[in-house]
Amino acid sequence: MSLCLSVVVPMYNEQDVLPLFVERLRPVLDELGEPYEVVAVDDGSADQTPVLLQRFKREWPQLRVLRLRANSGHQAAISAGLGASRGQWAVTIDADLQDPPEVIAEMLHVGRSQNVDVVYGVRTDRSTDTAFKRSTARLFYTTMRRLSGIDAPMDAGDFRLMSRSTVDAVMALPEHNRVLRLVVPTLGFPSATVGYRRDERAAGESKYPLSKMLKLTLDSVTGFSQAPLRFATWFGLIGFTVAALMLLFALWQKARGNVVQGWTSTVLIVAGFGGVQLLCLGILGEYVGRIYASQQARPSYYVAYDSLADDRRADERDGNQARI
């Protein structure tokens, strides 16, 4: 029997919200009346998340637990879950109930009835997010759309339904640190959107500190746009023109005999050019770092444990015993 739906849930230290999440997700999935699996990806949690997952798993056979060896980040955790998923459809959803599980049924319906491969969950109301989060998110989406030219839906995070062929296409990409909300639109599969209200986190705290948001932004920019490199070129060109003018000016001054003059302008020029050079070096460094990482080809996550393997072993054992 093939699975209809895989629900991929990244979790990092989510012990507070996990019971609430299971309580709300399970009825929605049971009501679908189709075979499903929930792939809970424990992203190296240091709290009771893995213990709770094993406990829930005993009563919920469709729950499958994947544990990553170390905390690898939201995007890597989703990739790990998608890579392990087996359903004809896969939906990715956060564990903190900010994405309402009830919308999954609607996404599946839209995916099938409109015959599309991807259904994006689009946040129509973000009033529960902080003003800082809202404005930084807006900046992120508009900048990325302009820089990369990708027609990514505004305010679509990682709550998304994908067909098996989309998941396979994403997983076949060799790219590391892939930012799925941008990778998926670039693949160009037919898509639709479903609006939803982004609720407040049901319990626990956000696992996305500013440092992780910055990493996501850097990965997005360097992964999808060469515009910063072009900025560097423009800076270089402008710098070159200014330097040429300065040279003419200096020669002219020398010809007039005013050679010792302008300490301030010298300092300004040295500091200004130094700054621009450092900035351009930094931009180059970001891209070189990305090339370096992809050259090393180290996986961005390691799966330490998959409960499916355990279950299969147990099934085999039972089968053998039945035969004896």
Q: Using CB under 6 A as the criterion, which residues of the chain lie in contact with ligand UDP when the complex forms? A: 10-12, 14, 43, 71, 73-74, 77, 94-96, 98, 201, 206-208
Interaction between residue 163 and Mg ion (CB under 5 A): no
Interaction between residue 98 and Mg ion (CB under 5 A): yes
In the complex with ligand UDP, the residue whose CB is nearer, 96 or 155, is: 96
Quote the CA–CA distance of 305 and 68 in Å, as a whole number: 7
Interaction between residue 99 and Mg ion (CB under 5 A): no
Find the binder of Mg ion among 42, 96, 99, 129 (CB under 5 A).
96
Q: Give the shortest CB-129-to-ligand UDP separation in angstroms.
A: 8
Q: Give the shortest CB-207-to-Mg ion separation in angstroms.
A: 8
In the complex with Mg ion, the residue whose CB is nearer, 92 or 98, is: 98
Which two structure tokens, joined as six digits, stand for 28?
Answer: 């929605």
44 CB-near residues (< 8 Å, 6+ apart): 12, 67, 68, 69, 70, 71, 72
Quote the CA–CA distance of 42 and 54 in Å, as a whole number: 11
Q: Give the shortest CB-264-to-ligand UDP separation in angstroms.
A: 47
Q: Is 268 exposed, middle or buried (0-12, 13-18, 19+ CB in 10 A)?
A: exposed
Residue 129's binding partner out of Mg ion, ligand UDP, none, with CB under 5 to 8 Å set by partner kind:
none
Angle value at C-alpha 78, between 74 and 79, nearest 5 degrees: 115
Look at residue 98 and give its three-state secondary structure: coil
Q: Give the shortest CB-53-to-ligand UDP separation in angstroms.
A: 12
Q: Interacting stretch for Mg ion, rule CB under 5 A, among 72-80, 94-102, 135-143, 187-195?
A: 94-102
Quote the CA–CA distance of 66 and 244 in Å, as a whole number: 60
Residue 12's binding partner out of Mg ion, ligand UDP, none, with CB under 5 to 8 Å set by partner kind:
ligand UDP
Helix axes 74-84, 164-172, angle to 10 degrees: 120
In the complex with ligand UDP, the residue whose CB is nearer, 142 or 226, is: 142
**Chain center to CA of 71:** 14
In the complex with ligand UDP, the residue whose CB is nearer, 4 or 203, is: 203
Look at residue 47 and give its three-state secondary structure: coil
Q: Give the shortest CB-246-to-ligand UDP separation in angstroms.
A: 48
Q: Give the shortest CB-301-to-ligand UDP separation in angstroms.
A: 10
Pair 100, 63: CB distance under 8 Å: no
Residue 204 backbone class (left: φ over 0; alpha: ψ -120 to 50; beta: rest): left
Residues that bind Mg ion (CB under 5 A): 94, 96, 98
